[in-house]
Amino acid sequence: MSLQLMTVLVVGATFILYIYIAIRSKAKDTSDFYVASKGVHPVLNGMATGADWMSAASFISMAGLIAFLGYDGSVYLMGWTGGYCLLAMLLAPYLRKFGKFTVSEFIGERYYSNFARMVAVACLITASVTYVIGQMKGIGVVFSRALGISFEVGIIIGMIIVFIYAVFGGMKGVTNTQIAQYCVLIFAYTVPAIFIALQLTGMPIPQLGLGSTLSDGSGIHLLDKLDTILTELGFAQYTAQKMSTINVLFLTMSLMIGTAGLPHVIMRFFTVPSVKDARASAGWALVFIAILYTTAPAVGAMARMNLMQTIQHGPVGSIDGNIEYAKVPAWFKSWEKTGLLKFEDKNGDGRIQYYDEKGLKTAESFGWKGNEMIKVDRDIMVLANPEIAGLPNWVIALVTAGGIAAALSTAAGLLLAIATAISHDVLKGWLMPDITDQQELKYSRIAIGGAIIVAGYLGLNPPGFAAQVVALAFGLAAASIFPAIMMGIFSKRINDKGAIAGMLAGLGTTLVYIFIYKGWFFFKSTAMLPDNADNWLFGLNPQSFGTIGALINFAVAYAVSLMTDPPPQRIQDLIEDIRVPIASK
């Protein structure tokens, strides 16, 4: 059976599964639609949270990123998992006890201010929309590469699928499909990793394989060998740190706080039956996430190793050390066609030289005239991995289905967060407080339908800044949402004025810092300083600034609150109330 047909069958089968689940879980009221009637088992909620959280970026891009960053890629691993500790201990149980539907609703009630609620809604929608564009693009990319259909058709198919189950099922439908999507994506991710770990190290568990010796009988450890291969070709050592320590620290912290502040993730903890379940569910979510996140570094390192050894299969400098272009494996040619892999025979010897021109001083003495792999797209690593390892077609088809599952599940969660903010916070909470539950349900369905169309449109016509706005999503979540919620629970002194001033200050400074280097509203020509380490304040990358934004938020909120009156008694009581699971027995 051809790969294309196999892929259509596997992807089609998963779609039928998602739609079948959706039909079985139609939402009857707003409680079903927003929080699945708070009836989701904590383990299943953990699984759904995992799928919700792990996006096209986690599935497709992260291992590739690590493959080329080496140790520095750890910021993403620690940053995107460490946030769950903050969620589990600082936010989730208390928000569950609060027992309402949205993050902004908590901020609005705790700070007895509709303005605070709308600031939260604005952050939430901006963060979620920027995020969802990436998912839509991810769906389009996977579809077009795997099935040879156009990018646009891919996005439209994705939109229709999400539309069906998110509009009918709301949180209930989304949760149930996310559970199925988790199973698809984790299977698709780990199967190739196991095969590749077996091939390279004889160890079936990738996490252990990464620390094992190579199975070629040399007795050398995989990571040591990788370090050697890379340094011989002038690249930096895989296991060495390249970024400045201060950036590694701040970026990791920003990603952690950002993760804990992202509304579509927090929202998931409203769906479990109890406070106890909210605590445990964060743990289960992290278990399911960690299965992929601890496999990713193995996938990254092994893919890099395979890539390097395919091209440089003999000693550096000897003529037959480099592969002849005429003899490259089939995957090389097929990825060249997509333009994601580019080779140019600079010295005309018919062989490929892949090295770091700055690092390898002796290159000229070998007759090398520059690095000939002029483009190696990082996203290839996961998608091409099964082909590089020579795995059967069904595994390759499965990886496609996994990538689509990851993108769809995250998109659905984000769209639901956007729709909930519009129907519950803006309409019910502010503009139309008198609508009935059934009317609100209707508006949420319209809102999610609208959100899908907007997201699809932006996916088809991505604004030029799409790639950079991820920093913005995390920056917003870290600098505004996370501190506001945390202080709302842990301090009885923070009042409406303090919280609003804090959110605006955190938000403002983070936005300004990002805009100075990336251009105002991401118009490149308006950037005021070049975006490089020499110009960064204290050498801080704009992506890492969320931590500072959060600190400013905390400081301003405290200062302003101390200068103004403490919150009224009913708010003090509300805080007392959310701090314990039940009043008493």
CA distance 149 to 145: 8
Cβ at position 192, least distance to other proteins in Å? 19
Burial 409-437 (b: 16+ CB within 10 A, else e): bbbbbbbbbbbbbbbbbbbbbeeeeeeee
Structure tokens at 250: 């701040």
Q: Binder to other proteins among 63, 77, 376, 418 (CB under 8 A)? A: 77
Cβ at position 85, least distance to other proteins in Å? 5
Q: Binder to other proteins among 50, 93, 138, 483 (CB under 8 A)? A: 93
The answer to whether 248 touches 75, Cβ cutoff 8 Å, is yes
Q: Does 81 bind other proteins (CB under 8 A)?
A: yes
Q: Does 293 bind other proteins (CB under 8 A)?
A: yes
Q: Can you tell me whether residue 221 is helix, strand or coil?
A: strand
Q: How many residues bind other proteins (CB under 8 A)?
A: 52
Structure tokens at 192: 């190739």
Q: Binder to other proteins among 144, 244, 274, 310 (CB under 8 A)? A: 274
Q: Binder to other proteins among 120, 123, 275, 455 (CB under 8 A)? A: 275
Cβ at position 287, least distance to other proteins in Å? 6
Provide the residue count of the chain: 585
Cβ at position 475, least distance to other proteins in Å? 20
Q: Does 84 bind other proteins (CB under 8 A)?
A: yes
Cβ at position 585, least distance to other proteins in Å? 5
Cβ at position 546, least distance to other proteins in Å? 15
Burial 270-303 (b: 16+ CB within 10 A, else e): bbbbbbebbbbbbebbbebbebbbebbbbbbbbb
CA distance 258 to 55: 15
Structure tokens at 93: 């149980």
Give the nearer residue to other proteins in terms of CB position, either 143 or 250: 250
Give the nearer residue to other proteins in terms of CB position, either 88 or 471: 88
Cβ at position 332, least distance to other proteins in Å? 28
Burial 214-227 (b: 16+ CB within 10 A, else e): beeeeeeebbebbb
Cβ at position 468, least distance to other proteins in Å? 25
Beta-bridged to residue 376, according to DSSP, are 341
Give the nearer residue to other proteins in terms of CB position, either 219 or 339: 219
Cβ at position 143, least distance to other proteins in Å? 31
Phi then psi for 297, rounded to 5 degrees? -65, -30
Binding mask 246-265 for other proteins (x = CB under 8 A): --xx--xx------------
Residues near 439 by beta carbon (within 8 Å), at least 6 away in sequence: none
CA distance 78 to 275: 26
Q: Among 12-20, 136-144, 276-284, 353-361, which window interacts with other proteins (CB under 8 A)?
A: 276-284
SS3 content of the chain, % helix, strand, coil (to 5): 75, 0, 25
3-state secondary structure 531-564: CCCCCCHHHCCHHHHHHHHHHHHHHHHHHHHHHC
Q: Does 287 bind other proteins (CB under 8 A)?
A: yes
Interaction residues for other proteins, span 184-213 (CB under 8 A): 207-208, 210-213
Q: Among 105-113, 280-288, 509-517, 530-538, which window interacts with other proteins (CB under 8 A)?
A: 280-288
Q: Binder to other proteins among 155, 257, 282, 503 (CB under 8 A)? A: 282
Q: Does 78 bind other proteins (CB under 8 A)?
A: yes
Q: Binder to other proteins among 4, 114, 150, 239 (CB under 8 A)? A: 239
Burial 354-383 (b: 16+ CB within 10 A, else e): bbeeeebeebeebebeebbeeebbbbbbbb
In the complex, the residues that contact other proteins under the rule CB under 8 A are: 66, 71, 73-74, 77-78, 81-82, 84-85, 88-90, 93, 207-208, 210-213, 221-224, 239, 241, 245, 248-249, 252-253, 274-276, 279-280, 282-283, 286-287, 290, 293-294, 297, 576, 579-585
